[in-house]
Each structure stands twice: as C-alpha cells, then as structure tokens.
Amino acid sequence: MPTSVVIINVHGIGPHPTSRPLDPGEDQVWASIEQFERALDAAVGRDDVRITFDDGNASDVEIGLPRLLERGLKAHFFVLAGEFGQPGRLDVAGVRELLKAGMPVGSHGWAHRDWRRLSDAEAEQEIGEANRVIGEITGEPVTDVAIPFGSYDRVVLTRLRRAGMRRVYTSDGGAARPGEWLQARNSIGPDLDAAWIERVYNGKASPIVQARRIVARRVKRLRGAP
Ligand SMILES: [Zn+2]
C-alpha cells in the first residue's frame, strides 16, 4: 500500500440540475463530463489515487458509475440520508445499484448542513440517524463519513469520534495517509485542466501552499468551544 495517496472528490457532474437549486458554492465543485472523464483517466493504473463522491447526486449513478466501471475504477460514495429520492438526488434504488457494483457507501450526513453549526438534536440526526438509515441499506454499520463543505472544528471531530467513525474525509486538499483518521481530499470542479491534474495528482503544490495547508488543518482541529 502506498504511504501517501491523493484523494479526488467528485460532486455533481454534467449539466446543472434543473430540478433543484444548487447549494451555495456548489457551482465551484460541479464538473463537466469531460472534466470528470479526464480526472478518471488520470487515475487509471495509479494505486496512489483514490476517488470519492459527495452529495448523493443523481449524476453519481447516471454519469459517474458507468464511467468508473468502464475503466475498472472504484470509488467511495458519501450520500445524504435525508435527501434520498429528492429532485436531482439519488434514491434508495440508486444506492443499491452502487453497492451491487461493488462501490462502498458511507455517510455525508442528513440534509447537507454545516456541521459546525448544529444543535445537539441536529447533530444526532446528521450523524446518528443518517448512519442508521444508510446502514440499513448497506447492511452494515456506517464507519466512514465525509464532512459536508469540509467544515469541521474540535466539536465536530469529538462527535464523530464518539459515534465510532473509523475514517473521516475532509476537503482540506493535498495528500492523505491511508491509515490516518482524517483523510484530506481534493474537489474537482470547473477549473480542472491538465495543469490541475499535474499539480494535484503529482503533489506539485508550491511549498507555500503546502505550509498553508498544514497550518489550516491544525487550526481546524483545535478551534471551537470544548
Ligand atoms: Zn457536500
């Protein structure tokens, strides 16, 4: 197993949905089919590149899944338990299709809220209830979660530890170490081009960018009232 991996995170793919409004900032992580295919093609044959999907969009199954299968690639899908069957989103049948194709499914929470601003009751729904609903579909307890908007602090991490989560996926950018609890990811979006792939897949971020990321991660882990 490689000691360092790059995790590429996919949100919506293709034309923007007409059936629901995009969330704030979602247009920044919505990729065209060509960009998505480019990201996949660059991952073929690379055991140090992993792929995840967030948000449980209908495009996960309609566009993402067939193109993964064509290339013999696997991806981890993080779905929104409270959005199943909503316009533009996956339904339970879609989740089952992912599972049947051998794709692991984890939780992205309930309603795509910012987990830094949850009451205890909302946190129970976002983590506890979402995990129960998704676990009933997958047939096993949910152990992996992806944090909505990559927005976390000490309180969020404590809640996830208490819930027994084995892996927590962020959006911090840069490389990740396979055995670590927090897994940094890199979102693809409208800015994906050959230079983006070279920089992200081959870890060519400048030393200044790398240093900034390390500081930002430390701040996130520590901030928030105890
Ligand atoms: Zn999300």
Query: In the chain, where do the E strands start and end?
Result: 5-10, 49-53, 76-79, 105-107, 144-146, 167-169, 175-176, 182-183, 186-187
Spacing, Cα 209 to ligand 1 middle (Å): 24
Spacing, Cα 207 to ligand 1 middle (Å): 28
Cβ(183)–Cβ(176) under 8 Å? yes
Percent of the chain with pLDDT over 90: 87
Spacing, Cα 81 to ligand 1 middle (Å): 12
Whole-angstrom distance, CA of residue 37 vs CA of residue 23: 24
Confidence of residue 225 (pLDDT cuts 50, 70, 90): low
Secondary structure tally for the chain: helices H, strands E: 9, 9
Give the chain's mean pLDDT: 95
Spacing, Cα 148 to ligand 1 middle (Å): 4
- What does pTM read for this prediction? 0.94
pLDDT of residue 183: 98
Contacts of 27 (CB under 8 A, 6+ apart): 16, 190
Range 5-222: architecture per CATH: Alpha-Beta Barrel (3.20)
Spacing, Cα 79 to ligand 1 middle (Å): 9
Q: Where are the domains of the chain?
A: 5-222
pLDDT per residue as tens digits for the range 131-177? 999 999 999 999 999 999 999 999 999 999 999 999 999 999 999 99
Average pLDDT for residues 26-30, to the nearest whole number? 96
pLDDT tops 60 at residue 226: no
pLDDT of residue 19: 94
Spacing, Cα 138 to ligand 1 middle (Å): 20
Closest to 11 (Cα-Cα) out of 169, 140, 214: 169
Spacing, Cα 167 to ligand 1 middle (Å): 16
pLDDT of residue 213: 84
pLDDT of residue 115: 98
Spacing, Cα 54 to ligand 1 middle (Å): 5
